[in-house]
Amino acid sequence: MTRALITGITGQDGLYLAELLLKKGYEVHGLIRGQNNPRRELVEKLVPEVHLHNGDLTDLSSLMRALRESDPQEVYNLGAVSFVAFSWENAFVTSDVTALGVLNILEAVRLHAGDDPGSIRFYQASSSEMFGKVHEVPQKESTLLWPRSPYGVSKVYGHYMTINYRESYGMHASSGILFNHESPRRGEEFVTRKVSKAVAAIKLGRQKEIVMGNLDARRDWGFAGDYVEAMWRMLQQDQADDYVISTGETHSIEELLDVAFTHVGIDDWRPYVRQDPRFMRPAEVDLLIGDSTKAREVLDWKPTVAFPDLVKMMVDSDLAALQSGW
């Protein structure tokens, strides 16, 4: 039985990945931060078979202990301070976890592997936010990285450190440069979930408006359940490498609002949406749209959930949750 350790298992990606690996017959271990982590109960409810270990990406000794206890053949580093807006207000914390945390887990894996550094396959969750001020449209693996937020800068550090450990020590270390991926499990601070939950509440008469930032921002949005499949496929390759994972389509916030409101029978969303400068980014990224040709050809991967279906899935989930009192 293959054993895998997932950092960031409390997030949407960690939960979907744990479910995927369990279906494939893995023994799954998860690193969870904080003795009283409020999301621990959710993990135990959704994936009770997962073995949880207390640990922190900023604490090398806790990572070594988790690796010793789980002894995995695969490690998926999904842990990060992942909300971009938060990173401007808390640049140090973001850098400590999202950048230096990658160095800590890479070093822990290298030390645990001992004389055979390639024996543990490692996945690093890189991000399309690394492209930032884009120098090429669409973006692919070779596109110049020009991050526009402390989060993006931190992800660039982790990305290059993963490459460095692969080239310096012969580790089987791959990075997935994932474009925006959403689901009903997305945190409510992210714009897609903010919209889906607010639209559901407006439909039910429990909310009057949504306060938004830049409605012209465009993103390449896919379904998180599809994207964790790509993560797993990367670690099944004979050679480690880096892959862009995306849909190849771009949609604006206005399109997101169109689909969400129309789905609940509201044709004109403008009376329900108010813009506020507080929700504008200090430095907005340019047109993010990924070219996942390499992943399609090498990994035989492609997205299965279209943008409108993803938005409707999220709205339906929030409607059901609100109606049931969740």
Active site members: 127, 129, 151
The tokens of 112 are what? 């645990």
From CA 42, how far away is CA 20, in angstroms rounded? Answer: 17
Give residue 151's Cα distance to chain centre.
Answer: 12
Strand order in the sheet with 121-127: 51-54, 27-32, 3-7, 74-77, 121-127, 172-178, 242-245
From CA 173, how far away is CA 235, in angstroms rounded? Answer: 8
Quickly list H helices, 170-218: 191-203
Long-range contacts of 33-39 (CB under 8 A, 24+ apart): 33/57, 33/79, 37/10, 39/10
Q: Which helix (H) or strand (E) holds 110?
A: helix 100-113
The tokens of 47 are what? 């994936």
Beta carbons within 10 angstroms of residue 228's beta carbon: 27
DSSP code of residue 114: T
From CA 99, how far away is CA 102, in angstroms rounded? Answer: 6
Q: Of 28, 9, 11, which is closest to residue 185 (Cα–Cα)? A: 11
Q: Of 56, 55, 57, 29, which is closest to residue 43 (Cα–Cα)? A: 29
Contact predicate 218/284, CB 8 Å: no
Phi-psi region for residue 71, left (φ > 0), alpha (ψ -120 to 50) or beta? Answer: left
DSSP code of residue 299: I
